[in-house]
Structure 1
Amino acid sequence: MKILIVKTSSLGDLIHVFPVLSYLRQRFPEAQIDWVVERPFASLIEAHPYVNRVISIDTRVWKRALFSRRTWREIRDARRELRTEEYDCVYDLQGNVKSGLVTFLARSACKVGFGPASLPEWPNRFFTNHQYEISLGQNIREDYLSIVKQHLSDKGEGGEKDVDEAVLLLRLSDDERRSIQPYLLDKAILVCPGSAWRNKRMTEEALIALLRGILKNAGGSGETHLLFAWGSDEERACVGRLHEEFLGECESTVMERLSLPALQHVMAHVETVLAMDSLALHLCGTTQTPSLSVFGPSAMNKYKPLGSEHRAYQGKCPYGQQFEKRCPILRTCQTGACIRDLDVGEVLECLGREGREGSEKCPKKDSSI
C-alpha cells in the first residue's frame, strides 16, 4: 500500500492532520506514507516517524521568481519526485487550487478530497474523483480524519473506529536531545503566551493574574517551576517580562528557542501547558500532557486539542459576532475585547470546573488549578 498526503501548510494545520497519520498507520502497518508540504515546514513532517518520504515544494519563492531558471528547475525536480511513485491513494487534505494541482500531478487512480460543500476553494473539485463532505460541529482534527474514514468505509458496531491514542514523539537529533535537558523538570508548567495574531493573545496583565491564580489553586508556587517558551523576538521580550514578574514567587526559566520536535518532548514531560489558540497548543495535543487554553476570535470546540484533559475558556464577543471557526473580523478588530478584556476570575472558575468534571477521565497527570 502506497499513500500520499497532500497538505502543504501551515504548521498548525499540518499538526491537525497527525491523527490521520496515526489512523493510516494503524490500518495499514506496512504502508508507505509520503507527504507533500511547503519547504519551510518540511522539517516538522520529516521528524514524524510515520512518514516515509517528504516531497517539498516552495510555491511562495516560485511565485516571486516565476521566470527564473532556478524556479523552473525546482518545479521540474519536484514534479519528477512526485511522479516517481504510483500511489494506491492520494488524500488532498488542503482543498485549494495549489493542492489540487499537486494532486493532479500525482500518479494515482484514486484521488480523495473534500466534497463541494466543504471545499475551501471550489476549483479543487476538478482534481479529485472521490469526494466527501465534513459534518458541522466537529473538531478540526475530526474533519480531516472523517475524509479518510469515509473513504475507507470505516464504521463498526460502536461507530467510527477510534485512533490509537498512544503517545508518539517526533524524532530528535542528538543536538536537540541535549538542548532540552535543562527543561525536563519534575514539576513544571510550560507557558506559551504567543500567537501569530495579536487578537489571539491575552494581555500580559491578565496572563500574570491567570498564572498567579493557577499557582494558588494548585497549592502554592513553592514547588512549581514556570517554563516560558517563545518563537519570535516579540514573544521573547514578552516572556522576559513575565519571567521577571515571577522572580521571588517561584522558580522561573525563559527557555532557549527550541525546534518543534524538541518543544514537543518538553511538553510531554511537564505537568501542564498553558497556551492561546496557537501552534504551541496544537503541538501539545500530540502528547498526553493536559493543557489550559484561552480562546477569543476562534472557536475552542473547533480548535482545542481533543480529550477531557484539555481545558479551554471561550472569550465573549461584545459585538455579537457569531462564527463556527474564526471571527470574520479577527484580523481587523481594533479592540480584540473577546480575549484582551477578560474577567480572570471567570476564566479560572471555568477552567477549574472543567477540570473537576473531567478529572476521572484523565488521571495521568495532576493538572488541578
Structure 2
Amino acid sequence: MRALIVKTSSLGDIIHAFPVAAYLQDRCPGILIDWVVEQPFSELVRSHPYVHSVYTVHTKKWRKGRGWKEIAAIRKQLKSQSWDVVFDLQGNSKSAILTHWANSSDKVGYGDRLVFEKPNLWVTTHQYDPPPEANVREENLFLVRSYLQDKAPFQSKAVYLNISTEEEELVDQIDRRLPNQRKVMVCPGSAWLSKQVEQKALVCFLKQIPKTHFLLIWGSDSEREAVDFLHREIPNSSVMDRFSIPVLQNLMGRVDEVIAMDSLPLHLAATIDVPTYSVFGASSAQKYKPFGKKHRAFQGVCPYGRTFSRRCPILRTCETGACIRSLTGDELFEHYSSSKI
C-alpha cells in the first residue's frame, strides 16, 4: 500500500499530523508513506522515520506569480506517481490543488463542518467530520481511521526523529554535563504574546518546584532574552543552544518533564510522550494539549467573557492577553502541585 499525506504547513500543525504516520505504519505493515509539505518545513518531515518520499512546494512564490516552473514540476510529479489513497489533512484551497493533482482514486478530507476552505470539498471523494470535542491530533486520526473503517484501540508509541551521529553525540554530551537530579525542560516562548506567561510569574512558579534543574529553550532573539532573564533569576538552570527540531526532540527524551506554552515544543514533546505541563490562555487546552494522563494543562479564563472551542477570536488583536498574562506564579504552582498524577 502507498499513501500520500498532504499537510503543507505550519510547523506545529505538521507535528500534530505525525501520529497519522505512526498509525498507518502500525495498521498497514509495509506501507509507503509520502508527504507534500512547504519547502521551509521539508527537513522536519524528511527526519521522520516513517516517511518514504517528500514532495516540496513553495506556494508563496505561486501567489506572486514567480513559480510557474515549480508548479509545472510538482504537478508532473504528483500525476506520475500512483497512490492507493491521499489524505488531505490541510483542508484548504491550496491543498485542494495538490490533492486534485495527486494520482489516486481515493482522496480523503474533512467534511463541510470542519474543512477550512470550501473548495477543498470539490476534490475529495471521502469526507469525514470528527466530533467537535476531539483533540486536534484525534481530528487527523479520525479521517484516516474512518477511511480504513477501523475502530480498534490505538496507542501511539514514541517516534524519535532521525538525527546524525554527530547530533546524537551532542545530545549525549549535554546529558552528561547536566546535574544528576530531576531535569525539566522549560519552553517559555510562543508565536503570540497572548500565549505567554509573564516572565516574573514564570520565575515565581519555577522557583517553587523543588530539587529540579531547568533546561531553558529558545528559538528567536526575543525568546533568548526571555530565557536569559529566567537564568539570572533561577540559578539551578542552564540556557541551551538553539537546536534543530529533531535534535530538540531527542534531547526532550532525556528529561523528566517539559513545561511549555501552547507552542511547537509542547506538540513536539507529545510525539515521544514525555510528560508535559502546559499553560493555555487564548487557545483551548482541550483541543490542543497532548492527550493522555501524562499531559497536564492549566486553562486561563478570559476576563472579558470570551468563549471558544479552538482559539480566541481576538488572539492576535487582544491588547492585554489577560487570560494568561495576568496569571500569578502561585496560581500556576498550586495547580501544578495539585494536578500531579
TM range (shorter): over 0.9
- Measure the CA separation in 1 of the matches of 2:285 and 2:93: 28
Matched, 1:25 2:20: no
Q: Counterparts of 1:36-51 in structure 2 under 5 Å?
A: 36-51=36-51
- Measure the CA separation in 1 of the matches of 2:79 and 2:20: 23
Shift of residue 25, structure 1, vs aligned partner: 0.5
- Measure the CA separation in 1 of the matches of 2:191 and 2:174: 24
Name 2:189's counterpart in structure 1.
194
The superposition leaves residues 198-227 of structure 1 with CA deviations (integer Å, 9 ceiling, x where unpaired) of 1100110011011012x2xxxx34xx3211
Q: Counterparts of 1:144-155 in structure 2 under 5 Å?
A: 144-155=140-151
SS of 2:290's equivalent in the other structure is coil
Does the 8 Å CA contact 2:185/2:258 hold for their aligned counterparts? yes
- Measure the CA separation in 2 of the matches of 1:228 and 1:171: 23
- Measure the CA separation in 1 of the matches of 2:282 and 2:173: 35
Name 1:122's counterpart in structure 2.
118
Does the 8 Å CA contact 1:176/1:259 hold for their aligned counterparts? no
- Measure the CA separation in 1 of the matches of 2:46 and 2:155: 21
Name 1:111's counterpart in structure 2.
107
Unaligned runs of 5+ in 2: none
Name 1:365's counterpart in structure 2.
none
Shift of residue 293, structure 1, vs aligned partner: 0.7
- Measure the CA separation in 2 of the matches of 1:333 and 1:182: 43
Does the 8 Å CA contact 2:217/2:242 hold for their aligned counterparts? yes
Name 1:72's counterpart in structure 2.
68
Does the 8 Å CA contact 2:47/2:163 hold for their aligned counterparts? yes
- Find runs of 4+ consecutive structure 1 residues off by over 3 angstroms: none
Shift of residue 245, structure 1, vs aligned partner: 1.1
The one-letter code matched in structure 1 to 2:139 is D
Shift of residue 61, structure 1, vs aligned partner: 2.8
Matched, 1:15 2:15: yes
- Measure the CA separation in 2 of the matches of 1:347 and 1:316: 13
Name 1:99's counterpart in structure 2.
95
- Measure the CA separation in 1 of the matches of 2:164 and 2:39: 19
- Measure the CA separation in 2 of the matches of 1:85 and 1:354: 50
Does the 8 Å CA contact 1:19/1:163 hold for their aligned counterparts? no
Shift of residue 179, structure 1, vs aligned partner: 3.0
Structure-2 change in CA distance of 1:225 and 1:351 (3 Å): closer
Matched, 1:139 2:130: no
Shift of residue 181, structure 1, vs aligned partner: 2.9
Q: For 2:245, which of 246, 260, 265 is the aligned residue?
A: 260
Name 1:294's counterpart in structure 2.
279
- Measure the CA separation in 2 of the matches of 1:128 and 1:62: 22
- Measure the CA separation in 2 of the matches of 1:62 and 1:244: 46
Does the 8 Å CA contact 2:128/2:146 hold for their aligned counterparts? yes
Shift of residue 77, structure 1, vs aligned partner: 1.8
Shift of residue 103, structure 1, vs aligned partner: 0.2
Shift of residue 296, structure 1, vs aligned partner: 0.3
- Measure the CA separation in 2 of the matches of 1:59 and 1:292: 35
The one-letter code matched in structure 1 to 2:263 is S
Q: For 1:272, which of 257, 263, 266 is the aligned residue?
A: 257
Does the 8 Å CA contact 1:26/1:164 hold for their aligned counterparts? no
The one-letter code matched in structure 1 to 2:118 is W
- Measure the CA separation in 1 of the matches of 2:249 and 2:124: 34
Q: For 1:238, which of 226, 235, 247 is the aligned residue?
A: 226
Unaligned runs of 5+ in 1: 156-160, 360-369
Name 1:176's counterpart in structure 2.
167
- Measure the CA separation in 2 of the matches of 1:165 and 1:98: 29
Q: For 1:87, which of 83, 100, 110 is the aligned residue?
A: 83
Shift of residue 244, structure 1, vs aligned partner: 1.2
SS of 1:91's equivalent in the other structure is strand
The one-letter code matched in structure 2 to 1:317 is C
- Measure the CA separation in 2 of the matches of 1:196 and 1:300: 16
Q: Percent identity?
A: 47
Name 1:311's counterpart in structure 2.
296
- Measure the CA separation in 2 of the matches of 1:41 and 1:228: 24
The one-letter code matched in structure 2 to 1:42 is S
The superposition leaves residues 2-58 of structure 1 with CA deviations (integer Å, 9 ceiling, x where unpaired) of 100001000100111111111111111111110000000011110000000000101
SS of 2:44's equivalent in the other structure is helix
Shift of residue 351, structure 1, vs aligned partner: 2.4
Matched, 1:226 2:221: no
The superposition leaves residues 268-300 of structure 1 with CA deviations (integer Å, 9 ceiling, x where unpaired) of 110111100000000011113111110000000
Does the 8 Å CA contact 2:203/2:329 hold for their aligned counterparts? no
The one-letter code matched in structure 2 to 1:293 is S
CA RMSD of aligned residues (A): 1.3
**Higher mean displacement: 275-284 or 178-187:** 178-187
The one-letter code matched in structure 1 to 2:317 is T
Name 2:54's counterpart in structure 1.
54
TM-score normalised over the length of structure 1:
0.89
The one-letter code matched in structure 1 to 2:132 is L
TM-score normalised over the length of structure 2:
0.96
**Higher mean displacement: 97-106 or 174-183:** 174-183
The one-letter code matched in structure 2 to 1:319 is Y
